[in-house]
Amino acid sequence: MRALRPESFEVRRDELRELVRRSREMVLLAAITGVLTGLGVRGFEWVVEEIFHAVLEAPLWVTATAPAAGLVGSAIVLKFMGGGASPSTSDEYLRAFHDPAYRLRPRHLAARISASVLTLGSGGSLGLEGPSLYGGSALGSLLQSKLPRPFRGSDHRTLLVAGAAAGVAAIFKAPATGAIFALEVPYRDDMARRMLLPALVASASGYLTFVTLSSTTPLLSFGTFSVQGFELIDLFGAVVVGATCAIGARFFAKVMRIAKGFSLRALPFRLVFASLSLTCLFFISRELTGMPLSMGSGYEVFREWLFVESDIAIWLLVAMFLIRCSASAFTVAGGGVGGVFVPLVVAGGITGRGIAEVLHDGREQLYTGLGVAAFLGAGYRVPLAAVMFVAETTGTPGFIVPALFAAVAAELVMGEQSITAYQRRPGTD
């Protein structure tokens, strides 16, 4: 009977067995990548938090000038340790994703992570997720490149995406967000579906490793977020939030493009300008709110202000929106290293809270979450990841339906704009 089998059947069977074997190996490698990334991200976060807390407890003049010192230190590290490496993090992942010849070099990885510790630990207004995503993707890419040729798989991006997913999942303690974001962000209006399984495995292992060393408490769960459901009027409000956040995200994206262009100017000039601007914003925010809310990634804006104050004047919300956007832009303009995911989250939270004060008093928490989903989804063109992010980081899924309305409205109004220039349209690889 064996002799009667077609030769093509034997070949296909052997190919199928080889595919299954390699798939199992890539899943195992994705899990290993996730564990290593989770360990690295936990250490990175711990160092940044320890430095930042020390800065906040220092004398006033030290706290006020710390972001400027961080920019100077970052510039020195990138120039001498990184050999003139750029401060880009998330964009590096997108460049490596779309260009098989582009390499994430270990020297640049060490320099950028060190510079991000200085930037973020000193109070720079960027997020930890950029270096976490970049570090995970660089680790995954390096690991895959070192494997024997038969084990590398057919796509150079497999462990690159897995590492990126693990980095985001770990730093946000949100495994689904990590996987979706890593797959969704390379394209506009599409996803890198072929890397779904490695991304899911790496996200889960990265998340489990991280929370084993910290806690499972959701990132934005401060004991005050108590949204239980939504009303029909909230669907209308969600559309308003989405459209408004898209306009704000277009403004933010333009400001960040200007800031990135400014960061290419002569080093002394941009450092002085950015440092003076950040110091002024520190004193302005402290005068308006009694807290240095212009500093740090921005979680304090939720923890100590948006989720605490029952009544905030519209003019103050507008002022803080401009302060936070400006602080992030000046940090980028000065050559600081960090992510813009969390700055988008903060801007969206402030926007949503402002709309709640106008449209639906008493639903501030719901509208704050809707603003986060809409602003983040529009800025990075990742509506699914944005909705999932708020669900996981608040531990409150009751707003998901209105959040989808907000994200869709934001996506439509956002048009072709994006916070990054390295995203591509589907089918352009």
Each residue's pLDDT tens digit, 19-54: 445 567 788 889 999 999 999 999 999 999 999 999
The CATH fold of domain 13-213 = Clc chloride channel (1.10.3080)
The pTM score is 0.89
pLDDT score recorded for residue 189 = 61
pLDDT for 405: 92
Mean pLDDT, residues 184-213 taken together: 86
Q: Locate 187 and state its tokens.
A: 């394209």
Which residues, in sequence order, are bridge partners of residue 424? 187
Rg (CA), the chain: 22
Q: 229: which DSSP letter? A: -
Residue 155 banded pLDDT, cuts 50, 70, 90: low
Domain spanning 232-414, CATH class? mainly alpha
Question: What proportions of the chain, in percent to the nearest 5, are helix, strand and coil?
Answer: 75, 0, 25
Residues of the chain with CATH 1.10.3080.10: 13-213, 232-414
Cα separation of 200 and 221, whole Å?
A: 24
8-state DSSP, 190:
-
- Read off φ and ψ for residue 33, nearest 5 degrees: -60, -40
**DSSP-assigned letter for residue 344:** H
Residue 70 is predicted with a pLDDT of 95
* pLDDT tens per residue, range 302-321: 888 888 887 889 999 999 99
